[in-house]
Chains A and B, each alone.
Chain A
Amino acid sequence: MAFLVVVWAVGWGLFVRRGWQLYRWLRLGRNEDRTHGLGRRIRDELVVYLGQRKLFKRPYLVRGIAHALIFWGFLIITVGTVDLFLSGVFGVRLPGTGTALFVWTVDAFAVAVTAAIVLALVRRVFFPPPRMHVALDGYLILGGIAFLMVTLLVFESAGLVAGVAADGFAEPPFARALAGALPLGRATASTLYGLAWFGHLVGVAAFAAYLPQSKHLHIFTTLPNVFFRSERPRGALDLIDRIEERETIGAGSVRDLSWKQLLDGYTCTECGRCSDQCPALATGKPLDPQKIVLDIRDQLYREGAKLALPGGDRGTPPARWKPTKTEELWSCTTCAGCVEACPVTIEHIDKIVDMRRWLAMNEGDVPPEAQRALTNIERAGNPWGQPPDTRADWARDPQGGSTTLGVPTFAERPDAEWLYFVGCAASFDRRNQKVARAVVEVLRAADVPFAILGVEETCNGDPARRIGNEYLWQMQAQRNIETFKTYGVKKVITSCPHCFNTIANEYPQLGGAYEVVHVVQLVRRLVRDGKLRLVPEGGPRARGEGTPRASGSTEEKVAYHDPCYLGRHNRVYDEPRDVLDAIPGVERVEVTPHHRERGFCCGAGGGRMWMEEKVGQRVNHRRMDQILAVLDRNGPPGAQTERERGRARFARGGPSPQGHSRGVPPSDGRKWVASGCPFCLIMLDEAVGAKDVQERIKPIDLMELVAARVRPPGAQTEARSDEVEHLGRPSGSPAREVGKT
């Protein structure tokens, strides 16, 4: 008995000692206030921690259930263990531990947990998943839990055989069954009973001692980790305030990471779900989000003791960790696939950006192409370095003179209700200028009172912030906020998810709070409220409302690609789909399984639009492969052979029909992929060009689909069909035929 007390003292003593060390190292991190939103935090704790909600995501459902059982079992059984200890050492029992409910629950869980452990061991030994960190540690933990469960069951069953069950206490059924199966005499059972009890408790002490050395620490750290998760909107990075007064900016060592980021390191269970989602890793880049988190932890373990000494030094910069982080950091597209997937709410992107901030602002060490984009933003207000006074040219009559599209600026129309913040891409990129014009058409068709800023608009700063140049972002944001203030802007429409995300979620950090929508959200609202009517393509010349929905073969198949900054970062999954569904003549195709929360990035986020991909397959090419695979699955195999395509091209008298003029019949089984982001559009277009699949698929923006189908105010169809690409049917043909039944 005394021995046991000693063992427990030692075991738990080691636990506390190591725990204290970890806590001290945690305190090395920078301060961060994570106490706001108490209600939400408590709710998250219940749902995510207790409820294990994030574990059940596909395709991990079965594993998730197994883990949940183990976890819940662990919780229940812990109560039992305490009871075991107290009863054995002090002869005291906890209230309620004799009830049938309690006893049966413990019993059932003991069995369930054992089964789950066996499952896990089998998987680990025979079918290890590619990205899981399979190490001795895992086996020790699983073995340890199994040992605890077995000793518990043996204890119960031996106790039953030995007849030592206390009066008035319920009988555990499984243990009873086990007791029946075991050929034990009373004496043996009695000994076994004692041994099992002893063994169980020693096991617990050993477990306690070992736990803080292993990744199983997560069972404790997940509790605070979930509680202190970021309450910022997911798409928002944290603000560095008083940036000009700081000596150093960003994470130049583990000290510069916040305590929460270090806690993430302790909490990582090494499950690899984040790695599974990472588009960079999937295409051969050196980035592995799991590794970023674990390397932080390992670095802290390596340096913690030294740094914790009084007068301890700064710590090693990430560029000099082993392995060095720089290549890995720049490979990130900030798509949040990792953050979405993580069951213990680790925030990978924040760490990566903080380390980028160090490189960008302290060292001025940014990939040169990205640096150019930043310099361009600073000097010309757009990453392409286009002359700022041409920013509104997309809305101008190319022949000169006033705007034929009638797009007023706020200076001309100060009472406009909405600001359409066009964004650099739609302002300067040729392909995306068509989208801007489509947006304008739609807004006018619905009589939405809006205006643009024209040449007073400047880059929202998102690329700067993601690349790590927080200062430039703040400067850009403040410029726009000032301009918004001048015109009393309160409501903003964007056609770019990056504009949307930063204006809606990040500008408030600097005092700019507005009602911000992505245009597809507005369109959905307008359609639902009847303010916008979508007719079959071809405009009023086609049979309008009375046209029956065409049968499958003549409907256009449109795959929907979730832009990361609309989808994962802002959870806007359904509204674009609703809009797509509301478009007559269009059949929505999902790019399963890489859609919605598991959508695959186009590769342009995180400032990567401005960086070269030097390793592996290009992320946008991989995405295009996924989209094509799904479209081919979903329809008649429209793909001709290489030779047939070549012949068709020559016969048509020209090269790829990237933009078809009238008279060129393009619909030859071509399918479409729609998204709501100019960068996705650029990347998907590049992939189509590089893979030479122009005949099979055309990327398009949702707004272009919508614009081709709104009832225009007045007969402007002619002008529109030149500017806005139609879906496969030149005006004046099949749409009308379809109407004729």
Chain B
Amino acid sequence: MKVWAIVERSQAGIRRVSLEVAAKAKDLGDATVLEVTGVERYSSLAAVSALANEAAAGAPDLILIGATPTGRDLGARLAARLGWAYASEATGVSVEGSNAIVGRTMYAGKVRATVRAALPAVVSVRPGAFAIPGGAAEPQVKAVAADGRAERLAFQRFEPTAAASGRVPLAEARVVVSGGRGLRGPENWKMVEELAGLLGAALGASRAVTDAGWRPNEEQVGQTGRTVTPDLYIALGISGAIQHLAGMTSSKVIVAVNKDPEADIFKVADYGVVGDLFEFVPAFTEEVRKVKEKG
């Protein structure tokens, strides 16, 4: 069983999800870890061409890739190029005979499904789905050189979002601190940012709040925003509308703070605090700070 894991890098090195995928690949069979090199930024045609050639030569049975936006884009087009089955955002992967059994969610997270993908297949894997075994060394990565000329789009420039400098992106965040209408206004976001900064967390927001213009759209968690799968999701002043829940119920641990004891968010929270968040959050931030300082 030849399994390939395609890794992605960020500024800080190999992405965590790629490490998870690599570890899983190793679990499943004879694993090779590859990386597309030779292009400054991701370009689908260049990457797909390079990997398709490599796959034609190497004939893997299963290609895994982390389901980052890039990974999903690349995985889909690669599968189409190769004419293989494709399953996205897997939460579980195993192999049975000539099929991969993939666990994934459907209907914007409202349904858990198990699908059978005929091998060979490409599967993109949800961040956080698999564990990195403790003490694992960084895998050996085989470079696959891509030819930038395969791309038919011309990169013009990068436009940074003003708010986003230095922020942890939602997609792969392990901790998310999310704010809703309970915060009453954009001017109150300082304490959300402070807590997030302390926890190394990404900032999230409910749709109500992004619609109202309090927070940028990129922070929206929910059905038409981002689906996040962190280890810890802290919902502040969020009532828990279904569309929001759809975006975060796959979080490992959910903490909710809300004044209304009947808020729907408490139905999914593992730990709920019924109270005034303007009092709780500073107190909580203080306690977290203490803990972080102790190390």
Interface string of B221-263 (1 = CB under 8 A from A): 0000000000000000000011100000000000000011111
B211 touches A658 (CB 8 A): no
The interface residues of chain A lying within 8 Å CB-to-CB of B262 are 430-431, 659
A488 within 8 A of partner (CB): no
Using C-beta atoms within 8 Å of the partner chain, give the interface range for chain A: 10 to 19
B212 touches A430 (CB 8 A): no
The interface residues of chain A lying within 8 Å CB-to-CB of B184 are 690
The interface residues of chain B lying within 8 Å CB-to-CB of A406 are none
A689 within 8 A of partner (CB): yes
Q: How many A-B Cβ pairs are below 8 Å? A: 34
Return A54 CB to nearest CB of chain B, in Å: 40
B193 within 8 A of partner (CB): no
Interface on chain A toward B: helix, strand, loop, or mixed SS?
loop
**Separation of A372 and B242 alpha carbons in the complex (Å):** 15
**Separation of A385 and B241 alpha carbons in the complex (Å):** 9
Q: Which residue of the partner chain A has the closest CB to B280? A: A655
Given the known inter-chain contacts A655-B279, A690-B184, please indicate yes or no for A386 contacting B260, CB distance below 8 A. no
A430 touches B260 (CB 8 A): yes
A128 within 8 A of partner (CB): no
**Separation of A633 and B262 alpha carbons in the complex (Å):** 34
**Separation of A369 and B209 alpha carbons in the complex (Å):** 11
**Separation of A368 and B213 alpha carbons in the complex (Å):** 12
The interface residues of chain B lying within 8 Å CB-to-CB of A659 are 260-262
B95 within 8 A of partner (CB): no
B212 touches A612 (CB 8 A): yes
A654 within 8 A of partner (CB): yes
A214 within 8 A of partner (CB): no
The interface residues of chain A lying within 8 Å CB-to-CB of B218 are none
**Separation of A690 and B184 alpha carbons in the complex (Å):** 7
The interface residues of chain B lying within 8 Å CB-to-CB of A81 are none
Return B261 CB to nearest CB of chain A, in Å: 6
Q: Which residue of the partner chain A has the closest CB to B259? A: A658
The interface residues of chain B lying within 8 Å CB-to-CB of A368 are 211
A656 touches B259 (CB 8 A): yes
CB contact list, A631-658 vs B, under 8 A: 654-656, 658
**Separation of A372 and B261 alpha carbons in the complex (Å):** 26
The interface residues of chain A lying within 8 Å CB-to-CB of B212 are 369, 612
A387 touches B242 (CB 8 A): yes
B276 within 8 A of partner (CB): yes
**Separation of A507 and B259 alpha carbons in the complex (Å):** 39
A386 touches B276 (CB 8 A): no
CB contact list, A563-616 vs B, under 8 A: 612
**Separation of A689 and B212 alpha carbons in the complex (Å):** 19
B242 touches A658 (CB 8 A): no
B275 within 8 A of partner (CB): yes
**Separation of A387 and B260 alpha carbons in the complex (Å):** 21
Interface string of A684-702 (1 = CB under 8 A from B): 0000011000000000000
B242 touches A689 (CB 8 A): no
Return A617 CB to nearest CB of chain B, in Å: 13
The interface residues of chain B lying within 8 Å CB-to-CB of A689 are 259
A386 touches B242 (CB 8 A): yes
Return A624 CB to nearest CB of chain B, in Å: 15
**Separation of A372 and B279 alpha carbons in the complex (Å):** 33
**Separation of A655 and B257 alpha carbons in the complex (Å):** 12
B276 touches A655 (CB 8 A): yes
Given the known inter-chain contacts A368-B211, A369-B211, A430-B262, please indicate yes or no for A655 contacting B243, CB distance below 8 A. no
Q: Which residue of the partner chain B has the closest CB to A369? A: B211
In this complex, the member of A385, A387, A655, A690 whose beta carbon has the largest number of chain B beta carbons within 10 angstroms is A655
A655 touches B260 (CB 8 A): no
Contact of B243 among A385, A431, A654 (CB under 8 A): A385
The interface residues of chain B lying within 8 Å CB-to-CB of A387 are 242
The interface residues of chain A lying within 8 Å CB-to-CB of B243 are 385
**Separation of A685 and B261 alpha carbons in the complex (Å):** 14
Given the known inter-chain contacts A430-B260, A430-B262, A689-B259, please indicate yes or no for A655 contacting B242, CB distance below 8 A. no
Return B187 CB to nearest CB of chain A, in Å: 13
The interface residues of chain A lying within 8 Å CB-to-CB of B259 are 655-656, 658, 689
B28 within 8 A of partner (CB): no
Q: Which residue of the partner chain B has the closest CB to A685? A: B260
B199 within 8 A of partner (CB): no
Interface string of A507-544 (1 = CB under 8 A from B): 00000000000000000000000000000000000000
B274 within 8 A of partner (CB): yes
Return A610 CB to nearest CB of chain B, in Å: 11
CB contact list, A678-716 vs B, under 8 A: 689-690
Q: Which residue of the partner chain A has the closest CB to B277? A: A655
**Separation of A386 and B280 alpha carbons in the complex (Å):** 29
Return B14 CB to nearest CB of chain A, in Å: 41
The interface residues of chain A lying within 8 Å CB-to-CB of B260 are 430, 658-659
**Separation of A568 and B95 alpha carbons in the complex (Å):** 70
The interface residues of chain A lying within 8 Å CB-to-CB of B279 are 655
**Separation of A372 and B241 alpha carbons in the complex (Å):** 14
CB contact list, B143-186 vs A, under 8 A: 184
B275 touches A655 (CB 8 A): yes
9 closest A-B pairs by CB: A655-B275, A655-B276, A430-B262, A612-B212, A656-B276, A658-B259, A369-B211, A659-B261, A690-B184
- CB within 8 Å of A: which residues of B? 184, 211-212, 241-243, 259-263, 274-276, 279-280
Name 24 interchain pairs, CB-CB below 8 A, sorted by A.
A368-B211, A369-B211, A369-B212, A372-B211, A384-B241, A385-B241, A385-B242, A385-B243, A386-B242, A430-B260, A430-B263, A612-B212, A655-B259, A655-B274, A655-B275, A655-B276, A655-B280, A656-B276, A658-B259, A658-B260, A658-B261, A659-B260, A659-B262, A689-B259
Further 11 A-B residue pairs, CB within 8 A, beyond A655-B279, A658-B261: A369-B212, A372-B211, A384-B241, A430-B260, A430-B262, A431-B262, A655-B259, A655-B280, A656-B276, A658-B259, A689-B259
